[in-house]
């Protein structure tokens, strides 16, 4: 539209929903707006993506990110990190790097396909939000179980070591479900969660309480 480029801003703060933005038509305008979005000088990361709007054409997805985000201790951006399969820090602005007329990557910024914008905002964001809340619930369950003696110090350290390794290695991802955990760790974690279900009334965070209630319902159905 009038030389402007459709992009999506992905916030590191997962309480903020990603939003569609329009970048200015000139190079100077775009550079200034990208710097404003990420908070300073920026670098670019790239990966192949697919336009889901009908023709399923591949395109180069570009993410603009603060070039010293890790050094400045900016918060990790969970959505962008999953999207680009590497740890990214601070707010990230994503655009299309493939020229829609030639189908080639040309180093310029182009409109993101609208279907891809909707995927980020309506599908990916809610899913990752739910995953983050679930992870917080597990962390609370494990720490509570350690405090009240439901699990031993050795069991706590074994579970903690496994999860830290998974989260710190950018080439590894945490188990997609509890069923994918090793049997001994699944049993330990199961005790932690059951202990937390009994103490559900002590949970003050409404989001954690909601997801814990869902887990409780699933456990009740199994029994």
Please list, residue by residue across 178-211, b when 16 or more beta carbons sit within 10 angstroms of its beta carbon and e when fewer do: eeebeeebbebbebbbebbbeeeeebeeeebeeb
Query: What is d(CA 92, CA 43) in angstroms, rounded to the nearest whole number?
Result: 10
155, 185 in Cβ contact below 8 A?
no
Query: What is d(CA 109, CA 38) in angstroms, rounded to the nearest whole number?
Result: 16
pLDDT of residue 117: 94
84, 97 in Cβ contact below 8 A?
no
pTM exceeding 0.75? yes
Predicted confidence pLDDT, tens digits, the chain (223 residues): 457 899 999 999 999 999 999 998 888 999 999 999 999 999 999 999 987 666 678 999 999 999 999 999 999 999 999 999 999 999 999 999 999 889 899 988 999 999 999 999 999 999 998 888 888 888 899 999 999 999 999 999 988 887 665 555 444 444 445 566 788 888 998 899 999 999 988 888 888 888 888 888 776 766 6
């Amino acid at each position: 539209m009038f030389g402007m480029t459709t992009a999506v801003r992905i916030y590191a703060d997962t309480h903020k929903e990603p939003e569609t933005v329009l970048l200015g038509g000139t190079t100077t305008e775009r550079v200034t707006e990208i710097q404003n979005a990420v908070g300073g000088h920026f670098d670019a990361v790239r990966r192949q993506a697919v336009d889901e709007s009908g023709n399923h054409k591949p395109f180069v997805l570009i993410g603009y990110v603060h070039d010293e985000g890790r050094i400045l201790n900016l918060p990790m951006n969970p959505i962008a990190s999953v999207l680009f399969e590497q740890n990214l820090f601070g707010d990230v602005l994503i655009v299309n790097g493939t020229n829609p007329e030639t189908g080639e990557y040309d180093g310029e910024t182009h409109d993101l396909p609208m279907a891809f914008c909707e995927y980020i905002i309506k599908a990916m964001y809610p899913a990752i939000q739910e995953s983050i809340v679930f992870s917080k619930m597990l962390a609370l369950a494990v720490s509570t179980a350690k405090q009240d003696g439901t699990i031993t110090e050795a069991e706590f350290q074994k579970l903690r070591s496994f999860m830290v390794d998974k989260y710190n290695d950018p080439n590894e991802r945490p188990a997609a479900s509890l069923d994918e955990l090793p049997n001994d760790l699944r049993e330990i974690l199961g005790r932690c969660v059951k202990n937390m279900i009994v103490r559900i009334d002590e949970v003050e965070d409404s989001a954690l309480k909601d997801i814990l209630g869902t887990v409780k319902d699933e456990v009740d159905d199994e029994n």
